[in-house]
Structure 1
Amino acid sequence: MHTTTTMRAAMQRQYGPPSVLEIADVEPPAPGRGDVLVRVRAASVHPGDYFVMTGEPYIVRLAFGLRRPRHAIRGMDLAGVVAAVGEDVEGFEPGDLVFGWCTTGSLAEYACVPARNLAPVPENLSLAEAAAVPTSGMTALQAMRDVARVAPGQKVLIVGASGGVGSFAVQIAASLGAEVTGVCSAGNGELVASLGTDHVIDYAASDFTARESQYDVILDNVESRPLSVVRRALTPAGTLIPNSGKGGRLLGPIGRVIRAHVLSLFTRQRLRPFTSVGTREDLLALAALASSGQLTPVIDRVYPLDAAADALRHVATGHTRGKVVVTI
């Protein structure tokens, strides 16, 4: 029975850099109807968490709070142990190992999660590995399977193949039967090759847009080149998915999203920026891929909860090698 009166959490009372995060003792959440209370053991962080923490681009404040974050505890993705279940919850009971995502903050000892946002942890994953999966894994899955509709034999290029989304996208594209090329630094080439790529390009030694090869699908997680330049590496009817999330302080990537949609009106090429939406069906699909050995989360660094600010600083560099995890 869950009887804890306080819990430790990484909180922020205002928007700003990682230094605004503080570890505080707060009242733990209580599960409502349809909710599961999870004793969090691991939580992963990603660029979206950084955007919400800083409140930039400013457009994120429309969803998360105009003057300060509506939910003070940062983090979304988690893995842990079911501590209690609310009314109308079926399929979970105290003691179960689960992973998924929440909106009230995963960088805490406890988090309240809608049951529909959880799935059992695959037996071959640690809790840290499971926590790395939800947001980045679903983004990669939806990009490859739903937006690009990757089919066996297609040529797929993943730019930023060693990052959080990229490391999942490489493996998912391979599982769909594609011929996969990963673009990364020389230091990450061996890692990317181990994930199932057929070819690896060192971006410092070779410009993929200047090569003769063309690809049916390009997932660009870096977006260091204009759309017009990247399109040179795309087949005449190929699909380009820009996915860096970067942009100006006011609107973020929205300007590039608009340009991509406008360009799509004048070419057979499909330019498809998108926003992933979490679903339990996709979480279960990722769990199945992990269970079958087709998907292995890559963990760059692991931080304790007291160093949650450092974890987000590392994410902000844009050079993570897989996922960044906080253990609790």
Structure 2
Amino acid sequence: MLEADVAIVGAGAAGLSLAHRLAGSGSGRRAPSVTLLEAPPGPLRPPRRTWCFWEAGPGRFDAAVTASWRCLRVRDRAGRPIHGDIAPLRYKMIRSDDFEHLVARDLAGHDRVRRVEGTVDTVEDVPGGALVRLRDREGNPRVVGARWVFDSRPPGSLPAARTTLLQHFHGWFVRTARPAFAPGTAELMDFRTPQPADGLSFGYVLPLGRHDALVEYTEFSPRPLTPDAYEAAVRHYTDDVLRLGDLEVLSAETGVIPMTDAVMPRRTGQSVFRIGAAGGATRPSTGYTFAGLQRQTRAVAAALGEGRRPVPPPAHSARSRAMDAGPLYFHSGATLGQQGTRIAREMHDIIGHNLSV
């Protein structure tokens, strides 16, 4: 049996962030031994994705940041722009491959962090800690014992909630033949997209240069689209709305994020905790997760460094969750056509008041 002070289940953003913080805690206490359990290549590994978040000044993971913006823009259905300067914040983009490479490089120099590949079957409390049971690529059983276990795997089902929507999206990293983008401004929401009957949709443009950008089609609605429908929606946005002209699709990404006011349990045993989206790090009304999981993992690392019980704190304040409940419920019951430009004006208020999401 492998043994460690801390076992982290899952090597996505939350698991890697916690391992990175524990390896470089910098406290006066000895760094804990960490076993990071990651799924083998296949369907259990998270796909490549892009994370965006607001941050003031230099950040812990700036070496992995692809681009950042100080100016944001929202467009209503008629295409009228609303601009906002979010200084001293910046809106930052990190691609998962770059983040993984940065963390792997930093962890390589720490002999108290061990990475183990396998499919986790169960996590169970035992006296004085917890056991993680897994299978390696050949199906051989292995057991990891730890004083504390942090599980970042998506839950099998969501807790009961008043409101649950899906934020689902499909995007292309594109390169255009002509200069088509303004690198200094991110298009946060562009409501010139065709609106679904039971939700709302918008375009999203993150320029990486005059010719390069991430262009996405996003919906808030009860169910995802088919692959063909996503492709058609992005093509319509690039061709008919943005009128980008000739372009090359360099890569694509698709995602589904639950948007729910359910309370996500952050503790599932005496020594077993959930972190990341599984532990409530996703902001219910927007789907943003990266900043929330950084607050969680920073607090966990601090608690371990100080010898305290490392219960992950709520990633968002009670005030923030209360503010989210209204818009989330409102979005679930009305189409954008019924709402008019209200959402665009709400986003203007968010930009204007520098509210972090």
TM value normalised by structure 2: 0.24
Relative to the length of structure 1, the TM-score reads 0.26
Flag the structure with larger Rg.
2
Structure number having the greater helix percentage: 1
The structure with the greater share of residues assigned to strand is 2
